Amino acid sequence: MTKLTLSAVNGMNREAFVEALGGIFEHSPWVAAKSWEARPFRFRDELHEAMMGVVRGAGAETIDEFLRAHPDLGTRLAVTDYSAAEQSGAGLDRLTPEEYELLSSLNKEYVGKFGFPFILAVRGKNKDDILSSMKERLPRGTEEEREEALAQIRRITGFRLADLIEE
């Protein structure tokens, strides 16, 4: 992947900006579209904060839809290129049938309880870390877990922006 400069990002029209950054937030190009208005950005972190501000400033219903747009970890369904690479790096594309069933079962339990998929920044983690995190987070309350999901999205998107934009 060719890295972009922050100067290039700042110089993009809205359409190019959304094309370049629309996939940073899972199936949510509206985050990039609304963030475009905050240009110019002096630092990559400033861009990231603007994008997170768009998410945080969305209404509760929009945030719930945003969380539901994320894929289940370990899914065998089509996921975005970003998610596929991240999940592969954590070994989720090499689960045994038993591990897949356990992960699938925990995902279903999680979604049933919270109404959105389990979200975790998997970079640097392995399948055991992920399963452990799922088991640890399942007993939480909905608001606490919604905040944790948004914190994990902050980490995920921070990694993605660092991979895409050089400073």
- Residues belonging to the active site: 70
Using CB atoms within 10 Å of the CB of residue 5, give its burial: 0 to 12 exposed, 13 to 18 middle, 19+ buried: exposed
Q: Among residues 73, 67, 40, 70, which one has the least CA distance to residue 145?
A: 67
Nearest Cα to Cα of residue 123 among 149, 157, 146, 147: 157
- Nearby residues of 84 by Cβ (< 8 Å), 6 or more positions away: 93
Q: From residue 74, how far is each of 33, 44, 151 by CA, in Å?
A: 29, 30, 20
Between CA 145 and CA 109 the distance in angstroms is 14
Which residue is it, tokens 């606490």? 144
